[in-house]
Chains A and B, each alone.
Chain A
């Protein structure tokens, strides 16, 4: 895929703009004001750069321009009678640091990184709802615009705009701090950060509703955010593991959907199309996570090990199912989750045969509304020769499947089911 100069320019504005934003939020004390200023600076860049060329230091250009924009906004606002500073964007917690002598200064790289880390922890603060955390992370850290985020999560633009506005208001009104949590709180506060990045990735290739199977953009954004985390918190085992997990999954992208865009299950994927460079990188990251975690594997490390098992197996049949069942057992001991139990049961079926798999599937509670559970039962029943009950299970799965590609896959399985 070739990238046009216009696309490259827009990409530079987006990536550098997100970095500028992180610092501006700290100096202005207002997320909304900083966002408006960076937005204005980005618009100015998109006008000026095609004409004058991309400046040597695009970030410095955007930083200085955004500061001047913020300064202008505050001056205009202050000049209006009866208006207080606090009315700008509903925020402004701290007196803005916009003295003329600092307007044209550019922060060193280390400051920019610290600010990005602050921004990550603010976006993923536990006092914000998960969907607000995700939206904020994509808006402020990835620099995606509201329409793109709304498309990514299949919600109307107005809904996404409102969600973001509400989240920013809560940050301002409840005084959610802009800082990296102190060390004792870090493990607990890292959990939602990782969950947000993981959710962005999983939503991108298993959308909960809609037509399209692979949302390339969001998966790439999740990998990018995980890389950023790994840069900002080097050596953190669960960050390394999350990045490895995302790369293992992304490596399968070329084989995950067929030419028509329909999903291809793991068993049927052409493994020669998997991205071996990404798999090698993921394996290296996972090995480092193991080295650094002192023998205690966190949930993302366990998931990365699972993904590694599949990514390095020569074929579906030759997968180390015993190890996979063992890893799922460990994962279940960390958090009892019916979706994990479902995957474990599928692995049990591969290791011990369909009867054992069916027993494991039927022992799971809370999955009666999941098309994946019914589809897995159908597969086990079909292997046992019980086509009548397999059909019923497939019909249930078909009714519950949320996306059109998944419904097509299930319908074709139903059509292939041998008659009684």
Chain B
């Protein structure tokens, strides 16, 4: 975090069309370059395997209820979550300017979601 500034946190959620390959050397290189350029604002990053290895868990009724485990992602969708960056920025405008440099922004889509501060009462 930069000194003397109140930072807001955002999850930049990366979506790609179903069936696309986000692990090619070219894409990796683009993300590496973004990571270098944005090192000041990146608080964390996660890349996900394709949805073929996803498992979905639902519990019926509440804690202790029947656990239903199914193969695959939560919902079949044309675009799937492939990873995320955690960004720290002064405000939404700064976050948008960084999100616009994430390679997925032109290969797919980037959704910016403000992080709910832990312990906060606001929803």
Contacts and interface: CB of A to CB of B under 8 A. Distances in A.
Given A94-B6, A127-B96, A181-B93, A175 B121 contact: no
Contact of A176 (B10, B92, B117): B92
Contact of A175 (B92, B116, B120, B122): B92
Contacts of A84: 120-121
Contact of A86 (B10, B92, B121): B121
Contacts of B92: 125, 127, 174-177
A177 B93 contact: yes
A87 B114 contact: no
A175 B114 contact: yes
A174 B112 contact: yes
Contacts of A181: 93
A93 interface: yes
- For the side of the interface on A, what is the size category? 10 to 19
Contacts of A176: 91-93
Contacts of B122: 86-87, 90-91, 172-173
Interface in A283-334: none
Given A93-B6, A127-B96, A181-B93, A174 B114 contact: yes
- Chain A: interface secondary structure? loop
Contacts of B6: 93-94
Interface in A163-184: 172-177, 181
B8 interface: yes
B91 A175 contact: yes
Nearest to B89: A175
Interface in A254-270: none
A177 B91 contact: yes
A175 B96 contact: no
Given A93-B6, A127-B96, A174-B112, A87 B91 contact: no
Interface of B: 6, 8, 10, 89-93, 95-96, 112, 114, 116-117, 120-123
Interface of A: 83-84, 86-87, 90-91, 93-94, 125, 127, 172-177, 181
11 contacts: A83-B121, A84-B121, A86-B122, A90-B122, A94-B6, A175-B89, A175-B114, A176-B91, A176-B92, A177-B90, A177-B93
